[in-house]
Structure 1
Amino acid sequence: MCLCCFTISTAEVGVIERWGKYSRLVQPGLNVICCPMESLVGKLSFRVQQLNVRVETKTLDNVFITSVVSVQYQVLRDKVYEAFYALSNPARQITAHVYDVMRSQLPTLELDAVFEAKEDLALAVKNALSEIMTTYGYQIVQTLITDLDPDQRVKNAMNEINSSKRLKYAVAERAEGDKILKVKGAEAEAEAKYLSGVGVAKQRKAIVDGLRTSIVDFSDHVEGSSTKEVMDLLLLTQYFDMIRDVGAESHCKTTFVPSSRGAPDDMRNALLQSAAGRL
């Protein structure tokens, strides 16, 4: 017989057998065994390990979906014997239970509900695995559903539905905006017409007040003048002011001036009729 030396890394434990029978566990550091009676048959790590399980199944509304479940697990320090000897392949055992839970839960949910029930599905997987794997010396630290991937055509259809809903809301909001613009425009137009009428009324009143004041002042300062003569003078003055303004326009080429014998009286009558029509 001879002594054999070996080392165990931190966060690991070694399993020693004597003549093929379990003997003891060895801790991290330098260890010695008696060869060939004893042998190091394996090591177990206490580090957290992760296993990604890809499951494909269908939902309640007959849509096939692929889900990825990430299971984080580690060996229990007080159950190293069970972890080493009870299971030959713990990863396959975990995979089988994940398949069982996911393929029993997903067919009860519609596709939209699956995305909302991720936390519930992950909790169901964790509870099922914890109940089984604890007896085999493994602790389930956490389970996460990291991906839910339906068929590409289904995703395109879901995007089209969402796009159509948003487009419908956009059209309704745009129509509401056009309605507000038209209503406000009509209110503004009504207010503008009202103010324009008020302005015209004030303008006409100012014209009448100005004519009355001019007639009274002219009659007071010029003796022998009648009201008719003052009105004729004012109308003639306005007429010539109008002729001057029209002639000053760049696009004006010709100005017609009446020249018949009764032109002054005709012009006066026309101006009076025009003023009477405005007032």
Structure 2
Amino acid sequence: MTPAISFMIVVFIGLIILFSSFVTVKQGTIAVVTVFGKYRRILHPGLNLKLPLIEQIHSRISIQNRSVELEFQAVTIDQAKVYFKAMLLYSVLDQMEETIKNVAFKFVDERNLMQALIRTIEGSIRAYVATKKQADVLILRGDIVEHVKGQLDQVLESWGYHLQDLQLNDITFDDVILKSMSQVVASNNLKAAAENEGQALLITKTKAAEAEGNAIKIAAEAERQAAQLRGQGIALFREEVAKGMTAAAKEMHEADMDTSVIMFTMWTESIKHFAENSQGNVIFLDGSTDAMQKTLKEVMSLNLLHADNVKKGK
């Protein structure tokens, strides 16, 4: 081998060693370096140097948020099957060296980590649901999440991870249970509707009775006032008639005329009024001479009595 070829081989090997000394770590990732299989140090994002042929990149740990979807079932205390669909959001706890060491060496690989994480969460939810009735599971969604977080925080921190969120996206039951739950809801709705209808009918009848009572009171008051006004009108009419007759009688007496003419005139006016305003009714009046004379005598007697009263008053 010529010296030129040997020099080129040495240069080539040197370049390989030189370039292998540079390591690029992507943003959101931390590289774990080992020396002959033993942990040595960590490399942060950016361009880093390592000892060529001695230090090796064991793994690259993502410190970004990761999510995984879960589907599993649980059994309630009253033996009802509950089917869950959930979304798990987790991440590396922090970027401290001890945390990264736990993440890198606690599990053989990512697959084993995910299996342990999922099974732990499923087991925690199943244990909690097993103490509850199926009717209570739907309203305990938030309580289930809080229970899982409380149970798993310490375990996950020992692995170097943190459970950020657990969302129970869907909680379902067997078809038979769903139908029975629908029937219960429907019956409760019918019961509530019947109660509301009864209350509405009671209110309607109560209001109608109050309105009828008020109407009767108003009508009675109006009738009372009308009767009072009618009575006052009749009294005023009679008072005015009496005044008119007294004045007419006085004038005729002063003129030395027979006051019976007034009664005769009223008699004829009454007959005329009955004839004009009878409206088909039949009124029997004794219009004979004897009846008229009898009436006039009675009127004249009243006049004499009235005159005596007037004189006594003087």
Question: Please, what TM-score do these two structures have when normalized by structure 1?
Answer: 0.74
- Match for residue 139 of structure 2 among 106, 109, 116: 116
Q: Is the 8 A contact 1:94 1:129 kept in 2?
A: no
Is 1:202 the counterpart of 2:228? The answer is yes
Deviation (angstroms), 1:56 = 1.9
The equivalences for 1:198-237 within 5 A come to: 198-223=224-249, 224=259, 230=266, 233=269, 237=273
The equivalences for 1:1-20 within 5 A come to: 2=17, 3-4=19-20, 5-20=22-37
Paired-residue identity, %? 14
> What residue in structure 1 maps to residue 101 of structure 2?
81
Provide the rounded CA distance (Å) in 2 between the counterparts of 1:235 and 1:82.
Answer: 129
In the alignment, structure 2 segments of 5+ residues that lack a partner are 1-15, 250-258, 292-314
Q: Residue type matched to 2:104 in 1?
A: F
Quick one: structure 1 residues 172 and 258, their matched pair in 2 at CA, closer, same or farther if it must change by over 3 Å? closer
Deviation (angstroms), 1:96 = 0.5
Is 1:106 the counterpart of 2:129? The answer is yes
Deviation (angstroms), 1:26 = 0.9
Is 1:179 the counterpart of 2:205? The answer is yes
Deviates more, 1:153-162 or 1:180-189: 153-162
- Match for residue 160 of structure 1 among 186, 190, 203: 186
Quick one: structure 1 residues 178 and 61, their matched pair in 2 at CA, closer, same or farther if it must change by over 3 Å? farther
Is 1:51 the counterpart of 2:68? The answer is yes
Quick one: structure 1 residues 239 and 166, their matched pair in 2 at CA, closer, same or farther if it must change by over 3 Å? farther
Is 1:60 the counterpart of 2:84? The answer is no
Deviates more, 1:231-240 or 1:90-99: 231-240
Quick one: structure 1 residues 258 and 168, their matched pair in 2 at CA, closer, same or farther if it must change by over 3 Å? closer
Q: Is the 8 A contact 1:48 1:72 kept in 2?
A: yes
Question: SS of the counterpart of 1:222?
Answer: helix
Quick one: structure 1 residues 239 and 191, their matched pair in 2 at CA, closer, same or farther if it must change by over 3 Å? farther
Deviation (angstroms), 1:199 = 3.0
Q: Is the 8 A contact 1:13 1:26 kept in 2?
A: yes
The answer to which structure has the higher strand fraction is 1
Q: Is the 8 A contact 1:63 1:111 kept in 2?
A: yes
> What residue in structure 2 maps to residue 28 of structure 1?
45
For each residue in 1:213-233, what CA deviation from the matched residue of structure 2 results, as whole angstroms up to 9, or x when unmatched? 232133034332667965884
Provide the rounded CA distance (Å) in 2 between the counterparts of 1:203 and 1:235.
Answer: 28
Q: Residue type matched to 1:43 in 2?
A: R
Provide the rounded CA distance (Å) in 2 between the counterparts of 1:228 and 1:101.
Answer: 119
Is 1:39 the counterpart of 2:53? The answer is no
> What residue in structure 2 maps to residue 92 of structure 1?
115
Quick one: structure 1 residues 215 and 95, their matched pair in 2 at CA, closer, same or farther if it must change by over 3 Å? same
Deviation (angstroms), 1:28 = 0.6
Q: Is the 8 A contact 1:53 1:98 kept in 2?
A: no
Quick one: structure 1 residues 36 and 13, their matched pair in 2 at CA, closer, same or farther if it must change by over 3 Å? same
Is 1:149 the counterpart of 2:149? The answer is no
The answer to which structure has the higher helix fraction is 2
Q: Is the 8 A contact 1:215 1:231 kept in 2?
A: no
Deviation (angstroms), 1:195 = 1.5
In the alignment, structure 1 segments of 5+ residues that lack a partner are 244-254, 266-279
Deviates more, 1:225-234 or 1:47-56: 225-234
Q: Residue type matched to 1:74 in 2?
A: S
> What residue in structure 2 maps to residue 192 of structure 1?
218
Q: Residue type matched to 2:39 in 1?
A: Y
Quick one: structure 1 residues 65 and 181, their matched pair in 2 at CA, closer, same or farther if it must change by over 3 Å? same
Provide the rounded CA distance (Å) in 1 between the counterparts of 2:264 and 2:170.
Answer: 101
- Match for residue 133 of structure 1 among 149, 156, 160: 156
Provide the rounded CA distance (Å) in 2 between the counterparts of 1:113 and 1:227.
Answer: 101
Provide the rounded CA distance (Å) in 2 between the counterparts of 1:117 and 1:64.
Answer: 16
Question: SS of the counterpart of 2:143?
Answer: helix
> What residue in structure 1 maps to residue 300 of structure 2?
none
Provide the rounded CA distance (Å) in 2 between the counterparts of 1:133 and 1:27.
Answer: 23
Provide the rounded CA distance (Å) in 2 between the counterparts of 1:228 and 1:15.
Answer: 142
